[in-house]
Amino acid sequence: MPKLILTGVILCALFCALWGPSFLVARRLQRQGDWAALRALRLLWPAQLVLAAGLIFAADAAGVAKPAGYSIAIIIAVSVTGAAAFGAWRLVLRQMERRRMRGAHRRFK
């Protein structure tokens, strides 16, 4: 039974490491007025999970030594990269919306 509990705790920690940074980026964007940022996570989280699992399986098939080390490194790399890409994508969408609204405001003057 303790091994099962330890495995569950480790899995929770890995999921928090995988999805935590993107959630923090989404919460920050939501506080800045981007109310759709949290909704977009429903697409990002499965993509991060599939990418991390695929990279871990590929590294295992390639025969890389120390599976725990490369698994954690892959999860952290996918997490940070996903959070940065998500933040950049949402900021680009906000800038496009601002420009569109500025153009609409100028047309009606």
pLDDT in tens, 13-31: 999 999 999 999 999 999 9
Task: Say what the pLDDT of residue 102 is.
Answer: 79
Who's near 32: CB < 8 A, 6+ residues apart? none
Instruction: Give the phi and the psi of residue 62 in degrees, each rounded to 5.
Output: -75, -10
| Digit-coded pLDDT (tens) for 39-78 | 999 999 999 999 999 999 999 999 888 888 999 999 999 9
Q: Where do the domains of the chain lie?
A: 2-107
Residue 106 has pLDDT above 70, yes or no: no
Q: Is 62 exposed, middle or buried (0-12, 13-18, 19+ CB in 10 A)?
A: exposed
Residue reference for tokens 């959630």: 23
User: Are 20 and 45 in contact, with CB atoms under 8 Å apart?
Assistant: no
Residue 4 has pLDDT above 70, yes or no: yes
Q: How far separated are the first and last CA of the chain, in Å rounded? A: 71
User: Are 64 and 4 in contact, with CB atoms under 8 Å apart?
Assistant: no
Query: pLDDT band at 94, cuts 50/70/90?
Result: confident
Nearest Cα to Cα of residue 22 among 2, 39, 45: 45
Task: Say what the pLDDT of residue 105 is.
Answer: 62
Residue 36 has pLDDT above 90, yes or no: no
Strands (DSSP E) along the chain, which ranges? none
